[in-house]
Chains A and B, each alone.
Chain A
Amino acid sequence: KAGVTQTPRYLIKTRGQQVTLSCSPISGHRSVSWYQQTPGQGLQFLFEYFSETQRNKGNFPGRFSGRQFSNSRSEMNVSTLELGDSALYLCASRTTSSYEQYFGPGTRLTVT
């Protein structure tokens, strides 16, 4: 099976702009979670989607949002970008009957 894929792999944006990141899960995986990874904070949970519904949301401001499509692909959006949003954004997918998460390669976002 193909692994989790994310696009784009790298992004450079300026403060105030918005950005959309995409994640395609492993075939058959209906749960997609998003994480922010920074050197200081480690892996922080953003949200989880299952069957196009947000199941959980981490402690991030409303500027961070997401959605999931009927084919389980997911997108996350960050509006009004801040310098502190610079990070590696990882998504992970799993089946609904297992806890095992498989990560994508991440999108490296740099906000200048």
Chain B
Amino acid sequence: GENVEQHPSTLSVQEGDSAVIKCTYSDSASNYFPWYKQELGKRPQLIIDIRSNVGEKKDQRIAVTLNKTAKHFSLHITETQPEDSAVYFCAAPLRRTGNQFYFGTGTSLTVIP
């Protein structure tokens, strides 16, 4: 069916280590892949996104990679810090519905000081 699968659901890393979260999507026509960070009690905030015409995008310590053939994209956080602790969501549009967004179920990241 049309959905976005996200793994893992929880992730604990030591401060300074890297964290990787992966999402797979079903619609091969999807062309935009955002990642949101949601801190406890706060709104989801867009932290990085990638369009289907590029394979990787970086912004300081975060990066997103896209594999269109395999229909998956990943969020990479390097040199993690305690303030990176949050729930991260991926999303992808379903083109045939007029770009209705489907979200992954979220990854709760804990960075241990």
User: Which A residues are closer than 8 A to B by beta carbons?
Assistant: 4, 33, 35, 41-45, 48, 55-56, 58, 90, 99-106
Contact = CB atoms under 8 A, between A and B. Distances in A.
Given A99-B32, A101-B34, A45 B102 contact: yes
Chain A interface main SS type: strand
Contacts of A35: 103
6 contacts: A35-B103, A42-B104, A43-B106, A44-B103, A45-B100, A48-B98
Chain B interface main SS type: strand
Interface of B: 32, 34, 36, 42-46, 49, 89, 91, 93, 97-106
A43 B97 contact: no
A80 B102 CA distance: 26
B46 A101 contact: yes
Contact of A90 (B34, B44, B100): B44
